[in-house]
Structure 1
Amino acid sequence: MASADEASGAPASGSGRLLTGVAWAVLLLGLWLWGREATEGPGGSSAPTTGDVAAVGRPLGVPLPPARDPLRPAGPSTVEIPSIGVKAPVVTRGLDTTGAVDPPPFATPQTVGWFGSGTRPGAEGAALFVGHVDTQTRPAVFYGLSTARPGEKIRVTRTDGSVAEFTIDDVQVVSRDRFDAKKVYGVRQPGRAELRLITCGGTYDRASGAYTANVVVSAYLTDARGI
């Protein structure tokens, strides 16, 4: 995530990194709270999201395949979203000195970060991937994430050589002032292997130097190869 591009009139010098940091702050606070619950007690809620979020695309009548049984745990190495042209390496991210989840480095904007202390993708629970939406001068790995739609596929190649295929079932824009970590990161259906992909969204707020929302794509495991 980063400041808006030059056409928006946002600052275009060293202040870009500061604005990027502010844009991450709300998201990372939510991740920290969620991560703490994941290690100290039950993580998340199975309750559906409510009016605190806006649906980007949830067309009626989209046939979705049944969920398959979760896989044995294994870490991720790459993630692919064919419908939006994403194929990117995945790196493990932990907590920084402030207790927040470290985003991918600014120097590697086409890299996706996985919260390594949480669920492994394909295993039971909700695995969490985060990525930048843009940099000071160009789109980043999750620039097109808000255009993803239910029914489209996400493939995660795992460190054991298997490929876990997820089907998107929800795309939402969650406003900063209504961000609820349990609703965003919690498991939607107990017993499933789920995936969350998150980046900045909404509009760029010049007054606060941050984006107004986060894009949250939810998916669940429907197929696997090489297991």
Structure 2
Amino acid sequence: VVARGLDAQGAVDPPPYDQPGVVGWYGAGPGPGAAGAAVLVGHVDTETRPAVFYQLSTLKPGRRVRVFRADGKVAEFTVDDVRVLPREGFDARLAYGPREPGRAELRLITCGGTFDRATRSYTANVVVSSYLTGTTG
């Protein structure tokens, strides 16, 4: 996991494509387990193989997600929902913002929808929303 900023369009800048196993964390936002929505982004695939968030769209509500934090603790989150948000008219508040003020939440985001060969990009984003259910360690 590496800290990332925003790209030219105002979205969280994902890790470089040549690092398909790396997850980007929006470093200007809360860390996983802190109040607010921590945002982690990763690629779904590369030109030749699946990447770190390839199976993200298969998560279902109630599943658990564990984040190993830099402080040695493990934050466990429970999935609330999985949405596919179109890139056209993308609602950043829905994707990145907290659902309940003061609650520790986690957003996992990757590409989704259909791959457009002409633009070499996907038509949507998969957004997994979850909330903190425990911290160990």
Shorter-chain-normalised TM-score: which range? over 0.9
- 3-state DSSP class of the match of 1:217? strand
Quote how far apart the aligned CAs of 1:150 are: 0.6
RMSD of aligned alpha carbons:
1.5
TM-aligned CA distance change 1:99 to 1:182, over 3 Å:
closer
Report the TM-score, using the length of structure 1 for normalisation.
Answer: 0.57
AA matched with 2:114: T
Quote how far apart the aligned CAs of 1:99 are: 7.2
> More relative contact order in 1 or in 2 (CA 8 Å, sep 6+)?
1
Greater percentage in helix: 1
Describe the superposition over 1:13-72 as per-residue Cα deviations: whole angstroms up to 9, x where unpaired: xxxxxxxxxxxxxxxxxxxxxxxxxxxxxxxxxxxxxxxxxxxxxxxxxxxxxxxxxxxx
Gaps of 5+ in 2: none
AA matched with 1:148: L
Aligned to 1:27: none
Greater percentage in strand: 2
- 3-state DSSP class of the match of 2:88? helix
TM-aligned CA distance change 1:209 to 1:105, over 3 Å:
closer
Task: Check if 1:128 corresponds to 2:42.
Answer: no
Say which of 123, 126, 129 aligns to 1:218.
129
Say which of 83, 98, 117 aligns to 1:187.
98
Supply the distance in 1 between the matched residues of 2:14 and 2:94 (Cα, whole angstroms). 21
Report percent identity of matched pairs: 67
Task: Check if 1:178 corresponds to 2:89.
Answer: yes
Task: Check if 1:140 corresponds to 2:78.
Answer: no
Say which of 158, 163, 170 aligns to 2:74.
163
Supply the distance in 1 between the matched residues of 2:87 and 2:110 (Cα, whole angstroms). 12
Larger radius of gyration: 1
Gaps of 5+ in 1: 1-89
Aligned to 1:23: none
